[in-house]
Amino acid sequence: MSLALGIRCKICGETYPLSDVYSCPRCSTDECSSRNNTLEVTYDYGKISRKIRPSGIEQRTNSMWRFVELLPVCDTHNIVTLGEGATWLKRCRKLEKHFRVKHIFVKDESTNPTGCHKDREASVLISKAREWRRRTVSAFTCGNLGSSVACYSAKAGLDCVIFIPYLNIHPLPRIAQMIAFGARLYQVVGTEKEIDTLARVLHDKHRWVFTMLGGGSKWEGKPQSPYIHEGKKTIAFEVAMQMGWKYPDHMFSPGSGGNFYDCWRGFKQLKDLGWVKGRLPRMHSVESTEANPTYRAFMQKKDSVILERPGETVTYPISSTVSPLKSLMALRESGGSPLCVTDKEVLQAQKLLAAKEGIFVEPASATSIAGLAKLAGDYVDKDETVVCTLTATGLKFPEPILAHFKLPRLRASIRSIENLHLI
């Protein structure tokens, strides 16, 4: 059973019960603020460390729920699971040779049920919705989170409503998943204030559960449910377990939002429990040159993050930062580096990973490989161990790789094959 104690604000220390809360009233200054999303679930670490040993964890069910004491679902009968987590930690020997680094691993989240790490988030949030006896779950998204929420809502037998923002990019594979899982999809039109008010009314009056309270063009700083972050920290738990309860020297993560900080928090929790010894990994965030608020704040030595609307980029799933202040803390605490990569560098990394290791990920996922390319042989020593997180399969967003491809015709003759030097 869970040994969660409650919710605590990372900034002011105020505590709250394990309820459907999204932001700290004392610290959240407005509806779109970098001071939103400061809430974290707290646990009885003393009791967990006395009760559980790492060797026992390894013998449990092969999913992220093997860490059930460190997840916030109080009654295990409410857990909604499709076997998410327990994803592969793959050693990449060809990348090791390419980058001249002895130990490179990728945490391949594309093997989750819907092909993305967001399944970890959805499993926890939908489980909490069931625990609260709610009937409807909703999200403002056209991305992977929508696919995951729709999937797990279907598994739980809950209604799911997805509000699609008005954007230029709507990857059809993700939309297809949402439709297949039975979600109701609507393209939301209205002012920022109207959209935020809609979310508040549906949550407060009609008791809908949201991933984030609000949407629109400035959704980066909107209050987000703290429970979805609990699922993503299990990536760090699994990495340490798969490495024999050791930390890697470096971890590269796409973007600088929740996934980045959640992994850092997961590593710290393992240290607090005494399950892993040694130095915590250096965490490296990899943002697009078109959307890099955390990078700019770090380089300018600021304690706040200015959220701006991102430019167009193939890495748009990570172009908006949900937990900027916490990400800034993780960078400074870990001694890591914020990195920026261009679309060209990202697409090169995507092709390199596929050609060398046979792993096809979407462009946003490939930013971790592009980030490693910038530090390998310099900040990353050749004898160190590196883990790159790959967040989603390339089948989620194949358009960039197909954009300039034309299928050539070939006459059915041996001479045609010979002329192409295929034999």
- For the stretch 12-54, pLDDT in tens is 899 999 999 988 888 765 544 555 677 899 999 999 999 999 9
Say if CB 127 and CB 79 are below 8 A apart: yes
Closest by Cα among 107, 48, 383 to 236? 107
Residue 112 clears pLDDT 60, i.e. is over it: yes
Check residue 138 and give its pLDDT: 96
- Given a cut of 70, is residue 10 above it in pLDDT? yes
pLDDT tens column, 325-363: 778 889 999 999 999 999 999 999 999 999 999 999 999
What's the pLDDT band for 219 if we cut at 50, 70, 90? very low
pLDDT of residue 315: 80
Question: Which range among 89-93, 152-156, 299-303, 319-323 shows the weakest confidence by mean pLDDT?
Answer: 319-323
CA torsion through residues 301, 289, 344, 385, sign:
positive
Closest CA to 227 of 108, 155, 137, 320: 137
pLDDT for residue 235:
98
Dist CA 165 CA 186 (whole Å): 9
How large is the average pLDDT for residues 365-372? 96
pLDDT at 224 over 50: yes
- Lowest-confidence segment of 39-48, 202-211, 215-224, 398-407 by average pLDDT: 215-224
Contacts of 214 (CB under 8 A, 6+ apart): 31, 32, 140, 195, 196, 199, 222, 223
Of 318, 329, 322, 77, the C-alpha closest to 211 is 322
Q: Which pLDDT score, from 0 to 100, does residue 259 have? A: 85
Tokens of 384: 């160190």
Which pLDDT value is given to residue 213? 81
Angle at 294 between CA 362 and CA 278, to 5 degrees: 85
Q: Of 87-96, 303-312, 393-402, which range is least confident?
A: 303-312
- CA distance linking residue 294 with residue 327, whole number of Å: 7
Nearest to 230 by CA among 23, 52, 366, 39: 39
Q: Tell me the average pLDDT of the chain.
A: 90
% pLDDT > 90, the chain: 72
pTM: 0.94
The CA distances from residue 173 to 199, 360, 393, 396, 397, in Å, are 26, 15, 11, 6, 7
The percentage of the chain sitting over the pLDDT mark of 70, rounded to a whole number, equals 91
Domain spanning 88-113+229-402: CATH 3.30.230.70: no
CA 287/CA 326 separation, integer angstroms: 15
pLDDT of residue 388: 98
Q: Residue ranges of the domains in the chain?
A: 88-113+229-402, 116-226
Residue 173, number of CB atoms within 10 A of its CB? 17
- The mean pLDDT value for 137-165 works out to 94
Three-state SS at 309: coil
Residue 222 has pLDDT above 80, yes or no: no
Contact of 207 with 199, CB cutoff 8 Å: no
Q: What's the whole-number mean pLDDT along residues 301-309?
A: 71
Of 324 and 217, the one with more pLDDT: 324
- Average pLDDT rounded to a whole number, residues 384-393: 97
Describe the crossing of helices 172-180 and 144-156 by its angle, rounded to 10 degrees: 10
> What is the Cα–Cα distance from 252 to 41, expressed in whole angstroms?
24
In single-letter form, the type of residue at position 184 comes to R
The string of pLDDT tens digits covering residues 241-285 is 999 999 999 999 998 777 899 999 999 999 999 999 999 999 999
User: Which pLDDT does position 69 carry in this prediction?
Assistant: 97
Q: What is the rounded average pLDDT of the residues 145-173? A: 89
Has residue 221 got a pLDDT over 70? Answer: no
Average pLDDT over residues 211-220: 65
CATH of domain 116-226: 3.40.50.1100
User: Are the CB atoms for 115 and 138 separated by under 8 Å?
Assistant: no
